Amino acid sequence: MVNRKNKIVITFISILFGLIVGALALAIAGFNPLEAYKIMFEGIFGSPKYISWTIVRSTPLILTGISVAFAFKTGLFNIGAEGQYIIGSLVATLVGYFFKLPIVIHAIVAILAGCLAAAIWGGIAGLLKAKFGINEVITTIMLNWTALYLSNYVVFWEPFKRPNRDASQQILDTARIEILANWKVSDAGREFLKNNEFLKDFLNPPVNFGFIIAILVAILVWYILKNTTLGYQLRAVGFNKDAAEYGGIDVKRNMIISMMIAGAIAGLAGATQVLGVSRETAILTAAEGYGFDGMAVALIASSNPIACIAAGLLFGGLKYAGSKLQPLIGAPLEVINITIGVIVFFIAMPKLIDILISAINNRKRGVEVENTK
């Protein structure tokens, strides 16, 4: 059986396999894989700026990953993180632009509003499942598209749309959660950073509080699942509905709560992205994929909320570094997508790796037996 220690080993072997197969893909496409991986490695760790970009890119993935992982721990498959993300970013933008509030409070209100709206969005799927038994996979997929077009519709609304742009108005500065955003561009800030190369470089990208929020959320979710009666109920429903019902737990209510929490976390991803990085909601022709990538992150993390931080960073790092291959050696972005796909692929079938490990062990043992003869 796959135990916890094996799980970690399998995860690392899977990542390794992914990198190897990715290298094959690169080689077949006529690129030197070692060179490509070197570029990617330097693309992440080569400068403080790259590190902070990796963190910024990873933040929404960590959060959507936690959203999917949380739902999964409670027996639900949240494919709707994408739509919940969109709703979260839309509402955060609306509050960020239309509300006039003092700094800090404005950001908190915008975040909470985004979370609440996304919680309701997720809750719809939970309610439909609890009341009518409609599979949440179906409803969340449909709600993704509903969210996408709803968002576009609202952005086209006259008072909200930025003239001559395919995007909404930008949020007010009071709602921003970028770290030292105004100070960075002020005279004093420029002066200070001139003498501090590392900090200047690190703060160059829109470093924001989103990452810290993501870590806190990971810990909070872990705590809820492990140490609260709510977590106990949710897990009982996820593991064995019938036994939970027998034990007096309201299964339907817990399904709705679970989807609402999952929705809120995905919405938080959207809200922090708006308030920390993009500052606007763009008109989308297709989903950006944060929710879908969240599923991969949750999978890599074995649905452990804390592990979602590392998995999100890995995923975000690969995507970010992969994007540098194109300009530097002309390798297509698809190669990096193949690599990520292969990693997820191997993690999705731990049995195979398990078999491989035991096959190798058996062969070793076989050799030992041969030798002792």
Partner 1 sequence: MGNIDFSTKAVEMRNITKKFGDFTANDNIDLTVHKGEIHALLGENGAGKTTLMNILYGLYQPTSGEIYINGKKVEITNPNVAIKLGIGMVHQHFMLVDTFTVTQNIILGMEETNSLGVLNLNKASQKVEELSKKYGLYVDPNAYIQDISVGMQQRVEILKALYRGADILILDEPTAVLTPQEIDELMEIIRSLTSQGKTVIIITHKLKEIKQVADYCTIIRRGKKIDTVKVEDVSEEQLASMMVGRNVSFKVDKTDREPGEVVLEIDNLYVKDNRGLDAVKGLSLKLRKGEVLGIAGVDGNGQKELLEALTGLRKVESGKIIMNGQDITNLSPREIIDSGINNIPEDRQKRGLVLDFTVAENMILENYHKKPFSSGGRLNHKAINDFATELVEKFDVRPRNIKQFAGALSGGNQQKVILAREITNNPEVLIAAQPTRGLDVGAIEYVHKYLIEQRDKGKAVLLISFELDEVMDVSDRIAVIYDGKIVDIIDAKVADERTIGLLMAGGGVDGEQKE
Binding site for partner 1 (CB under 8 A): 226-233, 235-236, 239-240, 242-250
In whole angstroms, the minimum distance from the beta carbon of 101 to partner 1 comes to: 31
Q: Which is nearer to partner 1, 12 or 223 (CB)?
A: 223
Phi, psi of 68 (to 5 degrees): -65, -40
Distances (CA, A) of 272 to 33, 58, 207, 262: 35, 12, 11, 16
Question: Please, which residue, 153 or 239, has the CB nearer to partner 1?
Answer: 239
Phi, psi of 189 (to 5 degrees): -60, -50
Complex with partner 1: residue 106 or 235, whichever CB lies closer? 235
- Closer to partner 1 at the Cβ: 68 or 225? 225
Q: Min. distance of Cβ 258 from partner 1 in angstroms? A: 16
**For residue 247, what are its two tokens?**
């034990």
207: left (phi over 0), alpha (psi -120 to 50) or beta: beta
Q: Which is nearer to partner 1, 198 or 223 (CB)?
A: 223
Residues 19 and 26: their CA atoms lie apart, in Å, by 10
At closest approach, how far in Å is the CB of 324 from partner 1? 43
Q: What is the nearest approach in angstroms of partner 1 to the Cβ of residue 2?
A: 13
C-beta separation of 236 from 244 below 8 A: yes
Nearer Cβ to partner 1, position 104 or 138?
138
Q: How far apart are CA 214 and CA 309, in angstroms?
A: 8
Query: Smallest distance from the beta carbon of 136 to partner 1, in angstroms?
Result: 20
What CA–CA distance (Å, rounded) separates 27 from 37? 12
Q: Among residues 247 and 330, whose Cβ is nearest to partner 1?
A: 247
Burial of 341 (0-12, 13-18, 19+ CB in 10 A): middle
Closest Cα partner for 245 from 231, 255, 259? 255
Q: CB 238 → partner 1: shortest distance, Å?
A: 9
List the one residue out of 60, 65, 80 whose CA is nearest residue 271. 60
Contact 280, 170 (CB under 8 A): yes
Whether 281 and 89 have beta carbons less than 8 Å apart is answered as yes
Nearer residue to partner 1 within complex by CB, 247 or 366 = 247
End-to-end CA distance of the chain: 31
Distance CA 207, CA 221 (A): 24
Whose Cβ is closer to partner 1: residue 163's or residue 248's? 248
Please give the radius of gyration of the chain, using alpha carbons only, rounded to the nearest integer: 23
Q: CB of 352: closest distance to partner 1 in angstroms? A: 23
Nearer to partner 1, 161 or 252 (CB): 252
- Taking residue 131's Cβ as centre, other Cβ atoms within 10 Å add up to 11
CB of 129 vs partner 1, minimal distance in Å = 19
| Per-residue tokens: 217 | 């959320």
d(CA 142, CA 136): 10
In angstroms, give the least distance from the CB of 193 to partner 1: 45
CB of 354 to partner 1, least distance (A): 18
